[in-house]
Amino acid sequence: MVVVLEKGITPREKEDLQQFLSDRGFQVREVVGEDETIFGVVGSGGLDHREVEMQPGVARVVPISKPYKLASREFKRADSVFPVGQIKVGGNRLVVIGGPCAVESREQILECADIVSSAGGVMLRGGAYKPRTSPYSFQGLGEEGLRYLREAGDQYGLPVISEIVSPLQLDVMREFVHVFQVGARNMQNFELLKSVGAEQRPVMLKRGLSATIEEWLMAAEYLLAHGAEDVILCERGIRTFETYTRNSLDISSIPVVKKLSHLPVFVDPSHATGLRDQVVPVGLAAIAAGADGLIVEVHPDPPRAASDGPQTLYPEQFEKLMRDIEALSPVVGREVARRPVPRAGSFASVTTTPVDGASSDARVVAFQGARGAYSEIALLRYFDDLQHEVVPRSCDRFRQVFETVLAGDAQFGIVPLENSLMGSIHENYDLLLQYPDLTIVGEIHIRIEHSLIGTPEASLDTIHTVISQAPGIEQCRDFLDAHPDWTLTPFYDTAGAVAQVRDSNDPSLAAIANHRTAELYGMKVIRQGIETNPRNYTRFAILSREDRAERDQSADMATIVFSTPDKPGALFECMRILAERELNLKKLESRPILGQPWRYMFYVDVELPGSQAQFDEAFVALEAETHDLRLLGTFKGSRGF
């Protein structure tokens, strides 16, 4: 049964209720949701539901009709989302696991890890104990293989998954794997399920060759009932009369199971088809049907693989699969999961700008551009106001800022969201959706003041070419139009343009940037304040990893994003929900949904009232009227404006 607790239940009442149920032979699991807290109660004891409803702190009791209790949607309405290492599984993320069928050597698994991480996979698979049909086939390297697998995973920042075939292997495997895999042949090995469940760590449960969906979910119930909280269901094809492919992928099981259960559902297209040329289309079909992830076999030289070579992808095929998933994901309203650790060499162009005398606990903050960029000025001002020492970290691109924070190489990132003259920076609005594990924790507005900067010998008369970011050029149009003989060339960054002037040592070349960069690079301000409109401000957002963000009790702003049904008045209904709860709308921005022509996501900034309950009520009401509703962050607004 599901026992829904009253919102005002006291800790003592909760403890007494748990003891009341335990004394009668029931297992009790607490689940804290966004709008309510429940006790999931399972066991063979007899108890009248009305007796439970009479206990203090109980709002209502909902019987679970399914034979599988903890795995059912009746037990938990929301999709389960849980961490595996530093990534999250479930929700709107698409998680791709790649690697060989079996670990064959240290060199082989390291090369496989490089292939998987370089293409964008986020977890590494590899068998160390291989249950094979033939006793003469390769059976795996055992503990040695596990050591190689974990070494490769750690080196490339990939959590690892490997199959367990006997409870006797637990003592060895628990040291090396992040996720236990229970294979199709062991789906109903109930003693193994009990032992693995008691480990209380993530488990992937593959569907048996001839198992019904209910039998599959009942096997998951064994894991959950014996302690496991994080279970991934994996459809890998079932045995039918068809012999062309290795198995028959029951693709209809994906939406069926997602309707019946809150557990994430993965698909193994390698074992489902047994043919490498079928893996990519079948994998994409699984995602289109609603799968939360794929587990795929990939090997640097499939014909020489010790096992399952015909169904194993070449590296270039795995790369294509990842690119195709990236293209398909927005069509199905999902985001491809990204690893929160750097790939080998992926941040080679990221340089750290040390702060003189900074302490060892100074906060690293990533920004786009070279030293002296407006983003660096904004972050120094923001964190100086908070009296925090910072170490700015320069990134070439906005996406690299997101990746650096996600990787944990910086505690914070800063990106511009909109300019008062040029409008929104759409790239960063799109990136906010593509990195769901990051959240907005602050904002700052700064005035944009442009100067013409050249070499120490330069003057207005020597200049022939001016470089800067395209918006910077446009914002100084009146000044530049007075010099029609100058060549205007867009550059990737304002501060970087000044560095280019310095490196060229050419008095005919000038840059448009903040006047502070002239001193930073040893250049000369030729003309200050050349912007056409002095009321030029840019709003920057401060980003942090969601799992590391500290809740700001003084937060007075929130940013949410959602799409609406295709019907008259849909957006008006959302605005009505906000207005009725006295939530002041500060910004409404629409962006096309990638891959879904003529559909839009709406970004909304609202002021938080004195009562958090008003916003919480509005959020719950919006869930019923919108699609893909997401809270991007709560923060203290308008710092520095």
Catalytic positions are 538, 540
Rounded CA separation 504/511 (Å): 12
Q: What is the helix (H) or strand (E) element at residue 3, kind and residue range?
A: strand 2-5
Give 181's strand partners. 163, 204
Q: Where are the alpha helices (DSSP H) in 452-527?
A: 470-475, 477-481, 494-504, 516-521
Q: How far, CA to CA in Å, does 147 sit from each of 142, 144, 167, 175?
A: 9, 5, 19, 9
Cβ proximity of 451 and 512 under 8 Å: yes
Q: What angle do CA 264, 267, 268 make, to 5 degrees?
A: 140
Cβ proximity of 587 and 572 under 8 Å: no
Q: Return phi, psi of residue 497, to 5°.
A: -65, -40
Q: How far, CA to CA in Å, does 369 sit from each of 2, 356, 416, 540?
A: 53, 20, 12, 14
Rounded CA separation 378/539 (Å): 9
Rounded CA separation 8/420 (Å): 45
Rounded CA separation 423/259 (Å): 42
3-state DSSP assignment of residue 266: strand
Of 21, 16, 20, 19, give the one whose Cα is nearest residue 1: 21
Of 205, 210, 237, 249, give the one whose Cα is nearest residue 71: 205
Rounded CA separation 392/374 (Å): 12
Q: Where are the beta strands (DSSP E) in 141-263?
A: 160-163, 179-182, 203-206, 231-235
Rounded CA separation 444/463 (Å): 35
